[in-house]
């Protein structure tokens, strides 16, 4: 029989074993909780795509594309490509006679039935027109500057070039076309060199292509700077930014090239600010507030943007958050289970209802007052759902809801201000050509190259907004620069004045 002391010892051993087991269980539970949290985060990362985040559609995995295809088969989602059923189509209109260079009268000589000779005129002949471009032969002008000796004093005098003519081997129109190859049509310099040779029969080196770009960049510098200042005082602006690269060669303390530092320094950001008749661009090394302030200055109008905190220097009451971005945020919240999924789906439902009424308002089927009346309950419900989500147990979705609620004064500006859109599509559309250019060129090789990108994007987008011929503007700016005169303004008022003068 065990003694009392032996029983006590066994009891102590059992208690120690139980304590060790409990500690191990607690350790395993902590490991399990960490693993489950990591699994949840990884699953959320796998579910992240262009429908519930700011990722581009090109980054979507195949299952997302299949999902969209299945939605289209069921009659939902995006429309298929091409002309839609019931589309009336378009036909090419005939040009008026004053714009036709050659007329060819075609008359049948004999009757196709009996072979009798035919005479007379058809008052209404069948008209068809064919447009053709003749072989292009560049026009070369040679300037022979004579140097003559004065009979009176013996001094030698050399004739100067005519006004507006520079020492460049290329005229203003060719310079503009060369710069437009990359700045408008996103060609590489080597492609531009080949294009000019094949299409225009102009032999130009890569260095000459770069020189033409620099000449045009200097020509439009002043009007682009003027446009930027004008945008800073606009009543409403859409703003956005995207990644960009500008190669920078940095050296270490010994004067040797520092590849790691150079790579880090090459990271930059392309910013845009869009108004109805002006669009400006800025390439900046940073994505923070300093860059946004440089783009917008002391902006006092209404700013439409996403929730990026660089724009927080603008008062929330004068901002409009992009609901396309919010829609993706709500999709993301709905991807989680239970409470988060319910809140996300309810937010999506209210958002879709809002967009339905917005499109009805834009189409003229709903008055502004009627739209505002309908939006009252939607605004209340959305803010209730965000408050509920912010207080929820799911940390990620709760954090997202809290972030949105901090800017809730910027949710409904478009409801009370007639000229404000609920999305930032204007700025995103302005960035698309720049993104394509970036992908094809891999960014800029120098600060001078970045200035060319900024200015060409600004001129191209603004001229299109105002219905101005981009090439003719570039030629006019280049000619003015050669004469030492101010380039034509990009401001809409100045453009309207010029159009009136020409029309008069």
- Measured CA to CA in angstroms, residue 440 lies from 33, 188, 266, 267, 443 at distances of 46, 8, 17, 17, 8
Q: Of the candidates 50, 69, 47, 48, which has an alpha carbon nearest to the alpha carbon of residue 58?
A: 50
pLDDT bucket at 256, cuts 50 / 70 / 90: low
Q: What number is the average pLDDT over the span 268-272?
A: 95
For residue range 125-142, what is the model confidence (pLDDT) as tens digits? 999 999 999 999 999 999
What DSSP designation does 484 have?
T
pTM of structure: 0.80
Q: Residue 164 has what pLDDT?
A: 87
For residue range 403-451, what is the model confidence (pLDDT) as tens digits? 999 999 999 999 999 989 999 999 999 999 999 888 888 788 888 999 9
Q: Which helix (H) or strand (E) holds 206?
A: helix 206-219
377 CB-near residues (< 8 Å, 6+ apart): none
Q: CB atoms < 10 A from the CB of 384, how many?
A: 13
Strands (E), 13-153: 147-149
Cα three-residue angle 419-422-427, rounded to 5 degrees: 85
Hey, what are 90's tokens? Answer: 């378009």
Hey, what are 432's tokens? Answer: 């698309």
Cα dihedral 209, 429, 277, 271 sign: negative
For residue range 323-333, what is the model confidence (pLDDT) as tens digits? 999 999 999 89
Q: CB atoms < 10 A from the CB of 192, how many?
A: 24
Q: What number is the average pLDDT over the span 294-299?
A: 92
Hey, what are 360's tokens? Answer: 């009805």
Radius of gyration of the chain (CA): 34
Least confident segment among 63-67, 183-187, 344-348: 63-67
């Amino acid at each position: 029989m065990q003694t009392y002391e032996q029983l006590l010892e066994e009891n102590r051993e059992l208690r120690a074993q139980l304590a060790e087991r409990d500690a191990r269980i607690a350790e395993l539970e902590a490991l399990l909780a960490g693993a489950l949290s990591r699994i949840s985060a990884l699953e959320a990362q796998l579910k992240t795509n262009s429908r519930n985040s700011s990722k581009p559609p090109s980054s979507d995995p195949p299952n997302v594309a299949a999902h969209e295809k299945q939605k289209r088969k069921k009659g939902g989602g995006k429309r298929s490509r091409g002309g839609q059923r019931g589309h009336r189509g378009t036909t090419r209109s005939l040009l008026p006679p004053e714009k036709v260079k050659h007329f060819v009268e075609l008359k049948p000589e004999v009757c196709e039935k009996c072979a009798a000779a035919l005479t007379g005129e058809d008052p209404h002949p069948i008209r068809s027109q064919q447009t053709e471009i003749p072989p292009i032969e560049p026009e070369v002008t040679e300037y022979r500057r004579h140097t003559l000796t004065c009979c009176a004093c013996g001094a030698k005098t050399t004739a100067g070039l005519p006004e507006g003519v520079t020492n460049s081997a290329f005229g203003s129109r060719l310079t503009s076309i060369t710069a437009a190859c990359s700045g408008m049509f996103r060609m590489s310099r080597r492609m531009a060199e080949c294009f000019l040779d094949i299409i225009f029969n102009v032999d130009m080196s890569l260095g000459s292509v770069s020189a033409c770009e620099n000449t045009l960049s200097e020509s439009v510098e002043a009007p682009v700077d003027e446009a930027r200042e004008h945008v800073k005082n606009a009543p409403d602006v859409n703003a956005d930014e995207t990644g960009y690269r500008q190669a920078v060669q940095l050296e270490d303390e010994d004067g040797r090239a520092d590849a790691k530092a150079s790579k880090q320094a090459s990271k930059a950001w392309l910013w845009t600010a869009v108004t109805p008749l002006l669009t400006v661009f800025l390439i900046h090394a940073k994505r923070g507030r300093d860059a946004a302030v440089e783009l917008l200055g002391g902006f006092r109008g209404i700013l439409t943007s996403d929730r990026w905190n660089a724009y927080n220097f603008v008062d929330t009451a004068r901002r409009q958050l992009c609901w396309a971005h919010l829609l993706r945020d709500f999709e993301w919240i709905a991807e989680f289970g239970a409470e988060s999924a319910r809140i996300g789906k309810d937010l999506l439902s209210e958002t879709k209802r809002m967009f339905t009424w917005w499109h009805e308002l834009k189409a003229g089927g709903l008055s502004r007052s009627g739209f505002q009346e309908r939006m009252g309950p939607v605004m209340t419900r959305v803010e209730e759902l965000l408050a509920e989500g912010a207080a929820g147990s799911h940390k990620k979705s709760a954090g997202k809801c809290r972030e949105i609620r901090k800017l809730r004064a910027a949710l409904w500006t478009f409801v009370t201000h007639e000229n404000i859109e609920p999305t930032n599509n204007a700025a995103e559309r302005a960035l698309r050509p720049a993104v394509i250019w970036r992908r094809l060129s891999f960014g800029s090789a120098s600060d001078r190259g970045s200035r060319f990108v900024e200015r060409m994007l600004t001129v191209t987008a603004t001229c299109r907004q105002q219905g101005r011929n981009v090439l003719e503007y570039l030629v006019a700016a280049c000619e003015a620069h050669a004469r030492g005169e101010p380039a034509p303004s990009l401001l809409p008022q100045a453009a309207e004045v010029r159009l009136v003068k020409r029309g008069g």
